[in-house]
Amino acid sequence: MRNNHNYCVIMSGGVGSRFWPFSKEGKPKQFLDFFGTGRSLLQSTFDRFKQIVPAENIYIVTNDAYAEMTKKQLPELKDNQLLLEPIRRNTAPAIAYASFRINAIDPNANIVVAPSDHLIMNTDEFVADIQKGLDFVNSNPVLLTLGIKPSRPETGYGYIQVNEEETGGIHKVKAFTEKPNLELAKKFVDSGEFVWNSGIFLWNVNTILDAFKKYLPDINQKFSEGKEVFNTPDEKKFVDASFPFCPNISIDYGILEKADNVYVNISNFGWSDLGTWGALHEISDKDGESNASLHCKSLFVESNDNVVAMSEDKLVVLQGLDGYIVAESDNVLMICKKSEEQRIKHFVTDVKFRYGDEYV
């Protein structure tokens, strides 16, 4: 039986610039169907959480610019289930906004916060872990995150160091470490003490509001000024006026790295945050030479370890390329070494500067 005091907040305001030009500001990656399943990443995330919490208890935090796209992809949402940011301010202000809204509706709420653009391979295991986590935070005043056993020394993820003591697979967190260099990542994986930070969080609404009060008093103060307007017709006007004054800070830096009541459930449900072309390549179907194609037909000649992504069903012929990303969307084609994909954000900045917004 689903608990009506359980709520879900899906974070869907990102631009997805690391997947440019396949993902553009006008249609970021969470709105794309990466694997030809007929459902975008956002729709798939919503489908998963509908199995855990009542659909009317699911809220999408996104940017004003993506309101119509979100409603089109999720027509069952009511307008009041969209929490619209007037400006991007990272995850802490977005989570504060959602927490104040949900608290106005249900001061006993348990909340799971999840990104909109992750890939989960084993839905049954995922549902079981989220349910277990919601039950845990319902009876314990803790901030819970889901940690993933690392399969490789990945430099693109944050890491969580865990204590050996556990309660039903849930460990107290020793420390958070943001994306390490390769040498450090190898040490983390070899030590067996670290898991990847999935970016999926669970807590009771009172626990997270207490944490904002303690660790991010500026944000707490700003939203507390309008405490009476949440879940009323005046909410949007208040948020539009207040949001720009919030610091641009993530929930990880702002609260989780400082708090002493952070716990982690070590999970194994086939997770990828699809944060990089490399991560996408790793989980995609590949030919015998480790080449992957998305949304297109491909002919690879004397080529290996490439990923090709097209916006429509096109034919791509590649000869003599090893370890490249070939990505196209409408009026842009990008060919970039997979090993240097961290430079894509710089390409986007340069393109914007030289040719304007039309191409980003």
pLDDT at position 1 is: 46
- Please list the residues that pair with 262 across neighbouring strands: 143
The range of the structural domain enclosing residue 66 comes to 6-272
Specify if 281 maps to a domain. Answer: yes
| Shared-domain flag, residues 41 and 64 | yes
**Of the residues 214, 244, 272, the one at which a domain ends:** 272
**Of the residues 220, 247, 272, the one at which a domain ends:** 272
Quick one: which H or E segment has residue 141? none
Q: Tokens representing 21? A: 């030009």
How far is 338 from 298, CA to CA, in rounded Å? 18
Could you list the beta-strand ranges (E) of 170-234.
Answer: 170-177, 194-204
Q: Is the peptide bond before 244 cis (omega within 30 degrees of 0)?
A: no
| Shared-domain flag, residues 234 and 298 | no
| Shared-domain flag, residues 248 and 133 | yes
Specify if 349 maps to a domain. Answer: yes
Specify if 296 maps to a domain. Answer: yes
| Shared-domain flag, residues 235 and 315 | no
| Shared-domain flag, residues 207 and 283 | no
- 125: domain CATH number? 3.90.550.10
Specify if 1 maps to a domain. Answer: no
**Of the residues 220, 244, 272, the one at which a domain ends:** 272
| Shared-domain flag, residues 283 and 328 | yes
Which among 229, 205, 233, 226 is positioned nearest to 79, based on CA atoms?
233
| Shared-domain flag, residues 237 and 351 | no
pLDDT at position 2 is: 56
| Shared-domain flag, residues 318 and 228 | no
Tally of domains within the chain:
2
| Shared-domain flag, residues 250 and 301 | no
How far is 264 from 168, CA to CA, in rounded Å? 11
Specify if 331 maps to a domain. Answer: yes
Number of H helices, E strands in the chain: 11, 15
User: Which regions of the chain are under pLDDT 50?
Assistant: 1
Place of tokens 């929490």: 83
| Shared-domain flag, residues 227 and 80 | yes
How far is 59 from 61, CA to CA, in rounded Å? 6
Specify if 298 maps to a domain. Answer: yes
Specify if 360 maps to a domain. Answer: no
| Shared-domain flag, residues 311 and 216 | no
The pTM score is 0.91
Quick one: which H or E segment has residue 1? none
| Shared-domain flag, residues 83 and 223 | yes
Measured in Å, how far apart are the chain's first and last C-alpha atoms? 45
